[in-house]
Structure 1
Amino acid sequence: MKPLLHPARAVALAFLTVILIGTAVLMLPISQAEGQAAPWTVALFTAVSAVCVTGLVVVDTGTYWSMFGQSMIMLLFQLGGFGMMTLATVLGLLVNRSFRLHTKLIAQAESRTLGLGDLSSVARLVLTVTVAIELSVALLLTLRLHLAYGLPWGEAAWSGLFHAISAFNNAGFSIHADSLMRYATDALVLLPVMTAIVIGGIGFPVISDLRNKLRDPRHWSLHTKLTLLGTLVLLLGGFATLLLFEWANPKTLGPMAFGDKLLSAAFASVSARTAGFNSIDIGVLTHESWGLHYFLMFIGGGSAGTAGGVKVGTVAILALLVIAEIRGRSDSEAFGRRVGPSAQRQAITVLFLGSAMIVLGTIVILRETDFPTDQVIFEVISAFGTVGLSTGITASLPESSQLMLILLMYVGRVGTVTLATSLALGERRMPYRYPEEHPIVG
Structure 2
Amino acid sequence: MERRGTRVTTDVARVVLRRLLPSWRHPARVVVTAFATVIAMGTLLLLLPAAAEPGAQTGFVTALFTATSAVCVTGLVVVDTPSHWSTFGELVILGLIQVGGLGIMTIASLLGLLVARRFGLRLQLTAQTETKALDLGQVRRVVAGVVLISLAFEAVTSVVLAARLGLAYGYDTGQAVYFGVFHAISAFNNAGFALYPDSLMRFTTDAWICLPIIVAVVAGGLGFPVWVEIWRRRRGRKRWSLHAKITLLTTTALLVVGTVAISAAEWNNPETLGGLGIGGKLLAGLTHGVMPRTAGFNSLDIGQMESGALFVNDMLMFIGGGSAGTAGGIKVTTFALLAFVILAEIRGEPTVHVMGRRLTASTQRQALSVALLSVGAVVTGTLLLLTFTPFGLEAVLFEAVSAFGTVGLSTGITANVSTAGELVLTALMFLGRLGPITLASALALRERTRRYELPEERPIVG
Cα deviation, 1:94-137, whole Å, max 9, x if unaligned, reads xxxxxxxxxx669858x997674754433222111111110110
Give the deviation of 1:406 after TM superposition: 0.3
Cα deviation, 1:65-102, whole Å, max 9, x if unaligned, reads 0000000000001111111683899xxxxxxxxxxxxx
Give the deviation of 1:306 after TM superposition: 0.3
Aligned identity (percent) is 50
Q: Which structure 2 segments of 5+ residues have no match?
A: 1-18, 127-133
Structure 2 Cα separation of the partners of residues 240 and 379 of structure 1: 23
Question: What is residue 98 of structure 1 aligned with on the other side?
Answer: none
The amino acid that maps onto 1:415 is G
Q: Higher mean Cα deviation, 212-221 or 48-57?
A: 212-221
- Alpha-carbon spacing, 1:405–1:230, altered in 2? closer, same or farther (3 Å): same
Question: What is residue 291 of structure 1 aligned with on the other side?
Answer: 311
Q: Higher mean Cα deviation, 249-258 or 27-36?
A: 27-36
Question: What is residue 185 of structure 1 aligned with on the other side?
Answer: 205
Structure 2 Cα separation of the partners of residues 397 and 296 of structure 1: 24
The amino acid that maps onto 2:159 is L
Give the deviation of 1:209 after TM superposition: 1.3
Secondary structure, aligned partner of 2:353: strand
Q: Which structure 1 segments of 5+ residues have no match?
A: 90-103
1:139 aligns with 2:162: no
Structure 2 Cα separation of the partners of residues 106 and 437 of structure 1: 35
Check whether the contact 2:386–2:393 (CA below 8 A) recurs between aligned residues.
yes
Q: Higher mean Cα deviation, 431-440 or 126-135?
A: 431-440
Check whether the contact 1:205–1:304 (CA below 8 A) recurs between aligned residues.
yes
Question: What is residue 366 of structure 2 aligned with on the other side?
Answer: 346
- Alpha-carbon spacing, 1:155–1:415, altered in 2? closer, same or farther (3 Å): same
Check whether the contact 1:11–1:106 (CA below 8 A) recurs between aligned residues.
no
Which residue of 335, 340, 353 corresponds with 1:320? 340
| Higher Cα radius of gyration | 2
Check whether the contact 1:368–1:401 (CA below 8 A) recurs between aligned residues.
yes
Which residue of 233, 256, 268 corresponds with 2:253? 233
The amino acid that maps onto 2:148 is T
TM-score, normalization by structure 1: 0.93
- Alpha-carbon spacing, 1:335–1:357, altered in 2? closer, same or farther (3 Å): same
Structure 2 Cα separation of the partners of residues 300 and 54 of structure 1: 12
Structure 1 Cα separation of the partners of residues 73 and 227 of structure 2: 20
What does 1:265-284 correspond to in 2, within 5 Å? 265-284=285-304
Check whether the contact 2:23–2:29 (CA below 8 A) recurs between aligned residues.
no
Secondary structure, aligned partner of 2:358: strand
Secondary structure, aligned partner of 2:324: coil
Structure 1 Cα separation of the partners of residues 284 and 368 of structure 2: 34
Cα deviation, 1:198-250, whole Å, max 9, x if unaligned, reads 00001111111111124778511101000101000100001111111011000
Check whether the contact 2:154–2:185 (CA below 8 A) recurs between aligned residues.
yes
1:71 aligns with 2:108: no
Give the deviation of 1:4 after TM superposition: 4.4
Check whether the contact 1:85–1:107 (CA below 8 A) recurs between aligned residues.
no
Secondary structure, aligned partner of 1:83: helix
Q: Higher mean Cα deviation, 208-217 or 232-241?
A: 208-217
Secondary structure, aligned partner of 1:219: coil
Check whether the contact 1:108–1:119 (CA below 8 A) recurs between aligned residues.
no
Q: Higher mean Cα deviation, 336-345 or 261-270?
A: 336-345
Check whether the contact 1:30–1:36 (CA below 8 A) recurs between aligned residues.
no
- Alpha-carbon spacing, 1:218–1:318, altered in 2? closer, same or farther (3 Å): farther
Which residue of 262, 276, 299 corresponds with 1:256? 276
Cα deviation, 1:275-297, whole Å, max 9, x if unaligned, reads 00000000000000000001000
Question: What is residue 100 of structure 2 aligned with on the other side?
Answer: 80
Give the deviation of 1:37 after TM superposition: 5.2
Cα deviation, 1:292-351, whole Å, max 9, x if unaligned, reads 001000000000110000000000000000000011111211211111111111100000
1:173 aligns with 2:197: no
Check whether the contact 2:108–2:323 (CA below 8 A) recurs between aligned residues.
no
Structure 2 Cα separation of the partners of residues 153 and 13 of structure 1: 40
Structure 1 Cα separation of the partners of residues 438 and 107 of structure 2: 17
The amino acid that maps onto 1:343 is T
The amino acid that maps onto 1:430 is R
Aligned residues: 427
Which residue of 219, 224, 230 corresponds with 1:199? 219
Structure 1 Cα separation of the partners of residues 267 and 235 of structure 2: 39
1:41 aligns with 2:78: no
TM-score, normalization by structure 2: 0.89
- Alpha-carbon spacing, 1:120–1:209, altered in 2? closer, same or farther (3 Å): farther
What does 1:278-427 correspond to in 2, within 5 Å? 278-427=298-447
The amino acid that maps onto 1:165 is I
Which residue of 119, 122, 132 corresponds with 2:142? 122
Q: Higher mean Cα deviation, 373-382 or 419-428?
A: 419-428
Secondary structure, aligned partner of 1:201: helix
Secondary structure, aligned partner of 1:80: helix
Which residue of 145, 152, 157 corresponds with 2:172? 152
Structure 2 Cα separation of the partners of residues 214 and 77 of structure 1: 30
